[in-house]
Structures are given as C-alpha cells and as structure tokens.
Chain A
Amino acid sequence: MVKYILKRLFQSLLTVLLVVCVVFVLMRMMPKEYFFTEDELMKFTDQQKYSKLEAQGIMDICSRCHGNGLLEDGSACPDCMTYSTNPNQGTGYVDRPVLVQLGDFFSSMFEMRVFNAKGKEVKSIVPVSLWQWLGDRENAFGELKEGYRPRLCFNLGKSIRLEKGQYVTDVIAVKMSVSMSIGLVSLAISLVLGVVLGVLQARYKDGLFDHVGTGYTVLVNAVPHLVIYTIIMIAGASIFGLPMRYDATAAEPWRTMVLPVVCLSIGSTAGYMLWTRRYMVDELNKDYIRLAKLKGLSDRKVMFRHVLKNAFVPLAQYLPYSILLTVGGSLLVERFFAVPGMGPELTNAISRYDLNLVQGIVLLYATMGILGVFLGDLLMTIIDPRIKLTGKGDVR
C-alpha cells in the first residue's frame, strides 16, 4: 500500500509538472499584443511595450546592440529586427527563449525575502543571486544587523496585471480562504440535504415525494443558473432583506454570505439527491437486500445499515475532490455577488494575460484535482474494505 501511495504521488507530481509546463509554454506563445490592454496599446510607445515585456521576463535587451537597435557602424542590428517596423533600426529587444523562462520559473520557486524591522519586505533574492548575497557576508550580515530578517518563501512570482505586484501565493491564499469558507458551508448543507432527500426519494420511490424531488432536480438542471441566481438575489433581498453583495466589513458579515451559499447549494443539493437516489435504487434491487428483507430485517435497518452504506461508496469517492475543489470557488456565484474568491480569478487572469497568476492557479487546481481523486480512492478502500487498490480485490 505504501509503495502504491508513493507511486501515485510520484505520478501526480509528474502530471502537475507537465500541466504547468504546457500552460507555461502555451501562454508564452501568444502574440505580444495580448499582453497589453487596449488602453496600453493606445498610449504606449513601442519602447514602453518592450520595456514592459522585459520587466516580465518575456524579452531581453539585445546584447549585440545594447538596446540601441543599431550596430557600431550605424547599420540595423540583425538580432533585434523581428518586431521592428523600421528597416533601418532594430527594436533593441529580443525574445527570451521559452525554455530559459521556464528555467527561471522553476529556479525561483523558492526565494529568500528580506524584511525590515517594520516587517516590510525590502528585498527578494532568488537562489542564483542568493549565493552572491550570502557570499558578501559583510553586506549580508550588515543588513541583518539593522534589524532585517531573511525568510525562505515559496514563490510563484508576482501578479503582473490583476493585482499588480502582489505575490501570487498571497493572492491565492486570501482568495482561497474566502471561497473555502463559502464553499465548505455550502458543501455541508448540500451533502446533508442531498443525501437525506435522496434517501427519502429512494425509500418512497414513485411516490409524491420522489416525483417532487425529481422535478426539483430537473428544474435546477434545466433552468440556466444565472436565472436562478437572479431570482434568488431579488427574492432574498426584497422578501428577507438579505444583502445582495458579499461584504466582509458589514456589521453582520454572515448575512452577506447567505445568498451566495444558497445559490451554491441549490445545484449541488440536486446533484447529491440525484446520485443518492440512483445508487440507493440500484442497491435496493440487489439480491442481498431481498435476502435481508426475507430474514426479517426492518426497513430502517435495511435502508441505513446496508443500502445507504453501499450506495454511499461511489459518492464518497468524490467527497475529497469536492472538498478540495471548494478552494476554486464558483465563477458565476462569486461574480454575481461580488465575492472576492477564487471563482473568477482564473478566467480573469487568462483574459488579462496575467501569466504568473494563471500558472499559480493552474498549479493549484491541478494539484487539488489530482490529490482529490487520489484521496477519493483511498477513502473508498476505507469505507469498503473489499476494494483493493493493488492486486485483485473482491468483486463488489
């Protein structure tokens, strides 16, 4: 089992690395103009554009002409003519090779940050220059003597557009906590409600309750979510006086979370109802249930001790995944109620070409996704010992 876990972890790590590399390369294959807003394209000179790309590590100042675009004899520098519109002069900038950029990304994943006495960061040192900094001991310890404190940090770079200058790890940490706080409450509500209602639907199959439950499931899945959210927002505000926007500064912040939680729970409750009912009905039709009933077990014992326990196994597989994915928030709900969570962050980052943020979020999602599936598999083996992840297990 330990060997299997280590193997899965190694495979997961490789998959995450692969995903990050692919996204990294794809984002950098975009035409340069994608890295600017229309406003910037309108106002920036070419010089400004290249300068900005250089600051982002996408371009380098041309080493052959030292950024002049001209060689010493006054002729155009051939190395930096790729984007030049002037046949007599280069731009002074050349593309930084993508593999070098990828190397920069991985080599700076851990960096030393130096904080002053007030706790404000004054310097960040990537491993390459860390040795230089430490090598100059007089300087290094001189800085420390002034009350500076070094700290080793996990680094995914800084946001270059959405939250310009903020560390991606900080941005993600803050947003994750907001999304998770709403997501976990919603998950708990929908799991409890969905499973209980699904059990009742199965118990009273083809009865009124089952039909109402099925109707609810169909309705939630058929009506566009935006319509449902709009109705909930207007009804919640006008009938119950609930705030229409998330507001952490409100006198009672929990009230501002009610409508987003309700919206998030509506869909997933329907999902849990649907699958619980389906797995329960499947189990109810099996021979061992008939046998249990023939042996005189009460309906209640059959339903909870046998049917629900077995029906819950496939649901449990996705539970860790669902819990971990609450860090991702919900694009629609968070945008609709101005929840400052992770939901819209990836689409925002992609649409604004915030490379570092995209990479950071993709890394997080890939890790959470793979870890969620892995933990789900483990959970299944715990709930149902017949399932073996290695070798041949019993047939269920």
Chain B
Amino acid sequence: MKKVLSIVLALALLLGMASFASADELTELNTYETQARELETWNVHYSQAAADLNVLCNLFDGLLTNDNHGNLKANAAKSYETPDNGKTWIFTLNEGMKWINKEGEEQADVKASDWATGLEWVLNYSKNDSYNVSMPAEMIAGANDYYEYTKAMAESEGADAVKALDAGEGSKFAETVGIAVDDAAGTITYTLVDTLPYFPSVATYNCLYPLSAELIEEVGVDGYRDITWEDMWYSGAYVVTYYEFQNQKVLEKAPNYWNDANCKRFDKVTIKMVESPATAYQLFKEGQLDHVTPLDTATLQDIYNEKADAEYKANLVESRPTKYSYQMHLVYAKNLEDGETPDVNWNTAVANENFRKSWYYGLDLTGYFARTNAINPLSCQNFCYTGNGVAFTSNGTDYTQLVRDELGLQYSTENYARLNKELAAECKAKAMEELTAKGVTFPVEVDYYISGASTTAAETAKVLENIFSECLGDDYVKLVTKTYTSLAPEVRTPRKASFYINGWGADFADPINFLGQETYNDPQAYYSNAYSHCNENDDPDLVAAYQEFTGLVTEAKAITGDLDARYAAFAKAEACFLNHALVIPCSYEIGWELTKINNYTKVYSMYGMQAYRYVDWETSTEAYTTEQMAANAEAYAAQ
C-alpha cells in the first residue's frame, strides 16, 4: 500500500511540476523585426530574401527541416534515401497532410505531385522571373534545359503560352526534368546531374517547396505570383491571421496540423515591426516584446556598467552566432576615385603575399569585435572562410574545426590567437622592400566604404582606422573611410573600394557553397567576379596562389562518395586559401540579448531558411538569467 501511495504521490508531484513548468512557458510569443526588414512577398517560391523566408518557413512544410543541433530532420517527408550513393534521392511523404486556408478550412491534400508543381513554377521563366532557379538548375537533371526551354518559348510565343505550362503527366516538364512523383505511394524522386551528397540539405530550402495545382487553378498564375496571406493555402505549423505592412503580423497555430502531436507550437506569434533596436528595448521593458536581440552597443554598455536599467544586468545573455561568416574581401583590381583608372599602387601592393599576410597576422580586431560584443569581444573571432555548423564529419566534428586544424589555429577566450606581431612585422618589412622595388609608394591608401546613412557604421569605421594605424603603422597603410548611398552602383561596379567586410551565409550544407564563390576563372564564383576581381590581376604569384586553391577545390568537389574525405579535402583547400591570405577572415555576429526564449531549443540551422521556425521552442514567462542560459547551454552540449 505504501508503495502504491508513494507512486501516486510521485506521479502527483510530477504532474504538479509539469503543470508548473507549462505555466511558466509563454503560450504567445511577441517578437519583432526592424522596419527595414519588412516582408516583401508571400509567395514562398518567389522570395529570396531572409526577411520573407523567416516568416514563410512557418507557413509551409518543406521536405526536411533542421533540429536544434543543426541536424537534418524529417518534416513533410518522413524518410529519404539514395539508392545510388547520391545521384538519385527518394523522399517519402507523411500521410494526412492538408492544404488549409487562413480560416483553417481544408482545401486539398498535400500530394507528391505538389512538389513537381512547385519545381515547375520555380523553373518556369514566365512564372517566377528566374527567382530561386540557380540551385535546382545546377543540381537537378534537365532543370536547366526546362528553364531555357521556357525562356525561349517566352520570346517566341509570349508569356501567356509559357504560363499555361504545367507539371502534369506527359508535359514538357515531366519529360525533361529529373523529378518523378507518385501520389499513391507518396514518393518524390529527384535525379541529379551528378552525385551530390549534400542534396538533402537543399530539401530544406524554398526552391523545393510544394505548390498545389488546385490553388493555381483557383487564383490563376498571376494570382499566385502576387498571392497574399489572405488568399494563399498553408501547409505548415502556422497560419497568418492578421497582417499590416510595417506594423505587425500575427501567426496562429494551424488547426488540425498533421504533426501536432509531435511538436510544440505557440498559440500565437506576433511579429511587431519596430523603428530601431532601441525602440525594441523600450518595448521589451514595457513587456510588449519577449526578447531584444541583439542589444545595441550603448544600451548593452549602460546595463552592463549599471549606468541604466541595472536590474537587467543579471539577464544579459550572449546570443548564438548567426549563419553569416564575415570576411575582409580584398579587391585585386581596384580603380581610383574616377572609377575607371586602375589604382596601380593598391593593386600592386595587394597582389603581394607578404603585404596581405601582414594584415592577416598583424590586425588585432578585438576592438572591432567589441562593436558587436562589448562584453566578450573574442566570442566574435573567426579564423575560417566557411561558416560554423555548415557541415559535420561522421563523428560530429564541425568542418571548420578541420580547417582550424590545418591552419594550426584554435580559438581562445584569453587572446586573439591569430595575432602574431613578430610575424606581421617580418611580413611588413619584406612587403615594403619588395613593393618599393616595384615602385609602390607608402603609405598605401586603403579605401574603405560605409553607408553614409549609418552612424553606427561611421563609429565602427573609426575603430577600424585606429586598428590599422596602431597595428600596421601610419608609414605602411592609411585607412581612408568614404561613404556611399548605394553600394553597388557607386562603389562596387566602379571598383572604388580596397576591401569590403561582408558576410556570406550558406544555402545548403556543403563547403562548396562558400569556397565555390572564390575560385579562379570561374564564371559562377560570385565573390571572384563581383568583389575581388582576382581574375583581372595578372601578378604571377597571386595567380599561382589562386590556381593552387582552385585546383584543390576542384579535387575536393570530385569526392562524392566519402563525405569525411570530401570535407578533409575542402579543409585543405580552405587552409591554402587562408594561408595565402587571399581573404582575411574577420568575425561572427555574436551580440548580447535579453530574452525569454531558450536559444538552445530553437532550430539551429547555419544554412538555408529553417532557423526561424517557431516550433519546439522552450520559453519562460520571465527573462532568462545569465546563469539559467548558461545551464541551458550546458544541457544542450551534453545532449
């Protein structure tokens, strides 16, 4: 009897704790975006902007998603397999998924053929204006041919004829593109142009999202292109119940959601548009927001130094890194202020490896990091080109760890480990000697451009100027900060900048998504063609360095069967790239925040568009304390 009683009591206690725990969780989430990041389209196939996809990923279920550790996780597809080591991928759908409207009324079943309709939409020149076409066109067999076919047809027969195309049986799409669907079995089979082991990560992205042919029938092709939240059909965890441009969006739990039993959702998520992070902080203080991420530097310092709102000091928590890896992209074919005359002095200097290495080893960027993270600046240090968490080896090692092992550099909380003043001084002396012989005059002018509208950027530029002056010396380089109103036409196209600091975030889980942007003489390499212009500097040492790196990337890309070997080969290529200091790895975005959300339970996706899914989040009605979040981090690491 005592035993039974003790079990009953224990159960009652557990139930009590559970109800207490659930009472402590937020049932409604109040989050925000700044007004500059308003959603531009509700058409998930048409969007390429993070601000859109952060919302849309909640409204539709892609084949796969990510969990809070970044692993791929079943979503609309309950399983996936490849029978031939990565050239063919078969996804099997869950049963019982429905398309619903904003009122929650069922409209149609979610079928395998919806994925064919979605892909046809993306590849159809007249339907999607070529948005999101590059990834499927490069990866799926016949996709590029179909895209070109629709483009040629648009010219010869007009847009209406192309808009009338569909993905039905016997269609040109079905004949051409490597996708086979079986509605009865619920399978979608993709045939790729090559063996692509990372393809499942592409299945998290919107280019492979479903689209109901019945919806197109209802609203028409033009109607779907410009679809609104009121007319569209939903298949994801939430539906939109209210939207006011530049004011707020309200998402509510989708009724009868197929995966309701297996995921935790908020009853309501309100995304409020705010004028600035400072306004967000005011709203957080008033209890109208559940987090403020990140805190602006002034507010953070005020709280941390107890100058204002000291009661929040105990709640300051360090954010997790975003998916962007920031680099100093050097420009190898820069022009002078007129935008036409080559800046020979700079171009000669930057082609010199010792010159670049003096930056690589000599710049102590700690002060620069403090602009983002005033409390713990070294959290932001970045020694790699590829972002953290993009790819993992079979034993769970982050790919960037392989790169750091190759470089012999490890992160330290004590100091900025890449800084090597002796080596930098040695490189500087050699560079000055070699470049003087080539007619370079010192100090070399380094033109750095920032947005003229941003006071934050101006303050950060001042910090950079000081870093350059103190670390490299005024006799060697002179950082000159200039401003623009629109970067591309005023600076990038006329090539007026000596370097840019910009971040790249991956769309899928493979290092090629990063390194492929930097290869030599490759028309697809975005940074090589649009930023560094490395193909246009004929310095033999620079060309040799780029060719060595490009060769290693090509070799790594060819390894498709053994992922560990592939990542090891990419790590070698990346280390070669960095050892030649062809770019200077700069930082990660890790600020501080006040939050009622356990960041370690959120989807942690360092590529693609799944990071903002409001699913399975653990929250608290009170802001987490620093200690509580540290405990969350420990528990997460132990998982």
Contact residues of A with B, CB < 8 Å?
Answer: 30-31, 33-34, 36-45, 47-48, 51-52, 55, 61, 66-67, 116, 118, 120-124, 158, 161-166, 171, 175, 233-234, 237, 243-249, 335-336, 338-340, 344, 348
Contacts and interface: CB of A to CB of B under 8 A. Distances in A.
B286 A338 contact: no
Given A34-B489, A121-B223, 7 more contacts: A38-B487, A41-B492, A42-B530, A43-B48, A43-B526, A121-B222, A245-B288
Chain B interface secondary structure, helix, strand, loop or mixed?
mixed
B488 A38 contact: yes
B82 interface: no
Nearest to B151: A67
Contacts of A233: 282
Contacts of A44: 48, 130
Q: Which 9 A-B pairs have the closest CB atoms?
A: A165-B226, A340-B247, A122-B220, A33-B488, A48-B130, A51-B130, A164-B41, A31-B489, A33-B489
B247 A244 contact: no
A36 B488 CA distance: 9
Nearest to B51: A39
A31 B41 CA distance: 24
A237 B279 CA distance: 12
Interface of B: 35, 38, 40-41, 43, 46, 48-50, 125, 129-131, 133-134, 151-152, 154-156, 218-220, 222-223, 225-228, 231, 242, 244-248, 250, 272-275, 279, 282-283, 286, 288, 486-489, 492-493, 526, 530
Contacts of B222: 121-124
A163 B133 CA distance: 22
A340 B226 contact: no
A147 to B, nearest CB: 13
B368 to A, nearest CB: 21
Contacts of B154: 61, 67
Nearest to B38: A162
A163 B244 CA distance: 11
Nearest to B41: A164
A320 to B, nearest CB: 28
A55 B43 CA distance: 16
Given A33-B493, A36-B488, A45-B134, A336 B275 contact: yes
A136 to B, nearest CB: 13
Contact of B35 (A52, A121, A163, A335): A335
A66 B242 CA distance: 45
A58 to B, nearest CB: 12
Given A120-B231, A237-B282, A340-B246, A39 B223 contact: no
7 contacts: A47-B130, A66-B156, A120-B219, A121-B220, A121-B222, A123-B220, A165-B226
A162 B48 contact: no
A34 B488 CA distance: 8
Given A33-B488, A249-B242, A340-B245, A244 B283 contact: yes
Nearest to B527: A42
B228 A51 contact: no
Contacts of A121: 220, 222-223
A237 B288 CA distance: 11
A38 B492 CA distance: 11
Contacts of B129: 48, 51-52, 55
A181 B78 CA distance: 51
Nearest to A41: B488
A338 B282 contact: no
A162 B275 CA distance: 16
B49 A39 contact: yes
Given A51-B129, A55-B129, A338 B526 contact: no
Contacts of A42: 526, 530
Contact of B244 (A39, A43, A51, A248): A248
A171 B242 CA distance: 16
B272 A245 contact: yes
A365 B417 CA distance: 58
B192 to A, nearest CB: 20
Contacts of B244: 248, 340
